Structure 1
């Protein structure tokens, strides 16, 4: 089997054995240790052991050594120890990515990726290949503007079965969409450009695209979103969009997943401007919406039966100027909740709240609906859990259904980890109106990283401002709702976005594909 993933421009070929594989100019070997290599590939172990005699760092750091076959080069990419309390499957992805980068530096163009399996990790082969594909991603602007750099390899061979390759390419296609939208600069992926990209991506597919761009409709139906959009809409190329993506699988629908993504294409902070050089990188504040688009691409590729997915992308720029919204304004949300603005740099929750309310309204007619917001929302989340981890927090009905635990287990298996947070009474008290003027306070005027429970409280705001507080476990019509903060997991800047948390979502909601 040979498959092409257009966004990396590299064909991926399945190989059933090392001896039968031909046409490669190098091997990338991912393994825990040289001893494990000896147990599986004695012919590859010998040159590595010989190299270790003159360089003991080989076992820990890897190396590129000469071999007598496959183009004469072997790149060894060790995972390191895998059985300690803190080891997890990410070591395979990290090693594969490091191996790809080392192979490219060595001038290898057609490597064969080989890994020594570990029975402790069910999806080690898939995660290894995904790690390699992540390293092969080329940013959208480079693919468009510098064609000579549009690909990093011509062919990637993989010693494994075809099903793993097919699944990896479907997952990577989604991650590539998420990276394209999330990582591209604020002009290349301004809201109208996002619409163009999304329409082109899903043209002729099973994913239906609907876009709300009329300012009158946005102001009427999405007033909190429109407050953020008020300054940006004076510039045609920055005008906001609410994009809906709908997929309905074959057979009777058994579950409906309803996703709301934060898509702030650039976050100046608005009137509460980001000062002191911290504005750089704020084009990445759209990675929540990017994740929604990426997940919909995975759904489009895998086409799971009995599942309906409605994704929404709240695409808006938080500009600063004479038309920008300001702290102290009171705006009535779609749900009829009077919201006092506390800080214009808390624009992400504003952009999502009315879209979430719309999803809540639609959920009344859906089968087993589960609502989620996905956002690079708070620095507090990064402070609490560090980089590389998404946080998930459930309302009462979602907590009773064990949604957080399901996502955490899925992420653990597929190298897309989650930490579980809780929504507490203090979070609702924090956002309760502080005077008779307003029902809800949007935010305080301190950074989330200096606010106690800084990443948990926004979930309470989203519940209150969207009217989801009327659908808790004490309601006659409860709705499952989970908030996913991906500020820490969305990827490094400078660097390439990770595509989190779409691998975990796919594993949790399309388990039959794995």
Structure 2
């Protein structure tokens, strides 16, 4: 999917025109004389509103045939909450517009812009408005790639979107320059999310640990990143007992993937991004229920998020240093598989009593953190579909966070707010860490049912070696059962844009 975005005066042919409208505007005195697109079409809009057929609620759409009144075939009115929209609301409105255009099989869309998107506001700059709307359109037009015979019919027909400013801004070079910059950033961010979604949606037989490593190598070649992939023998030489323990039950051996980006040679600070890459999770000997197990193709959502973030970094070349680490394995039951009661020695030297083999992500991430640290990481962020418990606590609305450094967490949360991706911090009191104490090893891999999302995060934090660290549990947000605005059914690519906003 590749859509061309432009900004400027009306100088093209369009089959669909989009205009945002609020219920406040439709109720206001003089609304009967107001013009949004065309007098007769606007009158039809007001009639729909009066009959409560269209309430102009946020993300609600009304598509009207122009019946030859305009060169375009359709006008789409999109409901908004009020005139001065936040970036999140702009992104949502653009997504609603994109989905309406897709339903109409539109090819060329003209988006009439609200005035505030060309002036900026206290909440956002012009370029941030442009980025949000570009992201909304791109993510709203996304369709999951499948292996159906008629898959192409499900893909969007939209080829171009032209953002049309109000007349007084049509020739503004300042607004135009900021819009062009915002569009470029928005395209890169959104297409990186699409990249992560496509990876997450791949079935387990199309994405083994070795195949995920090949995807990372292709990404590295495309953007000039250094890449190293450690096979099971190299992992054994480096003592990666957590990764090898989880992967030993599968015929597809594990891999440790490392990408390096050096954009600030004089800076000693290096970000470590670690993404959980379990390409399929049966639970191992502690077997999961059959119902819903097919969704465990998404257990590498953290790896997809990190690779998506590295795609943003490769495109925009920021002045930062990053080491991205992806421990990847399949968690399968077999005669060779890890068993409850087994003890593993991790790369760090810490030993772990395996109480439940379905708590496998934290075992590979333990070696992932150590790998990042040994390659110079000074600050650590891990992203993982770690626990069902985070879904119990936060549903599929917010990502849970655990940290040992409040300042770093606040940086991540501020980035998530710019991206419109919700993060909620969870406490990390010493009593939770005590639940991981083991009689047989340095710690055990599960702390019981109570506070499971917290104890799972704190297990990973035990391998941070006192470096600032944030854990992001995306188990509730990486996969959705149905579309929700710009978040897609299936793999969502969550945290790609948050990491991008943090580092770029």
User: TM-score scaled to structure 2, two decimals?
Assistant: 0.85
Instruction: Determine the C-alpha separation between the residues in 2 that align with 1:152 and 1:194.
Output: 30
Instruction: Determine the C-alpha separation between the residues in 2 that align with 1:73 and 1:281.
Output: 38
Provide the residue aligned with 1:387 in structure 2.
396
Instruction: Determine the C-alpha separation between the residues in 1 that align with 2:63 and 2:198.
Output: 32
Provide the residue aligned with 1:484 in structure 2.
472
Provide the residue aligned with 1:426 in structure 2.
431
Provide the residue aligned with 1:298 in structure 2.
312
Instruction: Determine the C-alpha separation between the residues in 1 that align with 2:160 and 2:357.
Output: 48
Higher mean alpha-carbon deviation, 28-37 vs 92-101, is at 28-37
Provide the residue aligned with 2:450 in structure 1.
452
Which residue, out of 277, 287, 303, partners 1:289?
303
The Cα shift of 1:250 comes to 5.0
1:71-110 equivalence runs, <5 A: 71-80=72-81, 89-110=87-108
1:324-473 equivalence runs, <5 A: 324-363=337-376, 369-395=378-404, 398-399=405-406, 402-433=407-438, 435=439, 437-444=440-447, 451-464=449-462, 466=463, 468=464, 471-472=465-466
Provide the residue aligned with 1:4 in structure 2.
none
Provide the residue aligned with 2:35 in structure 1.
42
Q: Secondary structure at the match of 1:280?
A: helix
Instruction: Determine the C-alpha separation between the residues in 2 that align with 1:414 and 1:42.
Output: 33
1:101-120 equivalence runs, <5 A: 101-116=99-114, 117=116, 119=121
Contact 1:79/1:94 (CA < 8 Å) preserved in 2?
no
Higher mean alpha-carbon deviation, 24-33 vs 325-334, is at 24-33
Q: Deviations over 1:48-71 (max 9, x none)?
A: 442331442322332002343351
Contact 2:274/2:324 (CA < 8 Å) preserved in 1?
yes
Provide the residue aligned with 2:5 in structure 1.
13
Provide the residue aligned with 1:56 in structure 2.
52
Q: Deviations over 1:238-275 (max 9, x none)?
A: 32221111111155236321011101111111111111
**Structure 1 105/148 Cα, relative in aligned 2: closer, same or farther at 3 Å?**
closer
Q: Secondary structure at the match of 1:335?
A: coil
Contact 1:89/1:124 (CA < 8 Å) preserved in 2?
yes
The Cα shift of 1:141 comes to 4.4
Contact 2:389/2:453 (CA < 8 Å) preserved in 1?
yes
Instruction: Determine the C-alpha separation between the residues in 1 that align with 2:268 and 2:502.
Output: 14
Instruction: Determine the C-alpha separation between the residues in 2 that align with 1:452 and 1:219.
Output: 37
Q: Secondary structure at the match of 1:221?
A: coil
**Structure 1 80/330 Cα, relative in aligned 2: closer, same or farther at 3 Å?**
same
The Cα shift of 1:371 comes to 0.8
Provide the residue aligned with 1:244 in structure 2.
258
Paired residue total? 467
The Cα shift of 1:79 comes to 3.0
Instruction: Determine the C-alpha separation between the residues in 2 that align with 1:203 and 1:483.
Output: 29
Provide the residue aligned with 2:173 in structure 1.
none
| Runs of at least 5 residues in structure 2 that lack an aligned partner in the other structure | 165-175, 483-488
Contact 1:224/1:351 (CA < 8 Å) preserved in 2?
yes
Provide the residue aligned with 1:498 in structure 2.
492
Instruction: Determine the C-alpha separation between the residues in 1 that align with 2:370 and 2:420.
Output: 32
User: TM-score scaled to structure 1, two decimals?
Assistant: 0.84
Provide the residue aligned with 1:212 in structure 2.
230
Contact 2:241/2:345 (CA < 8 Å) preserved in 1?
yes
Higher mean alpha-carbon deviation, 335-344 vs 404-413, is at 404-413
Deviation >6 Å, runs of 4+: 36-39
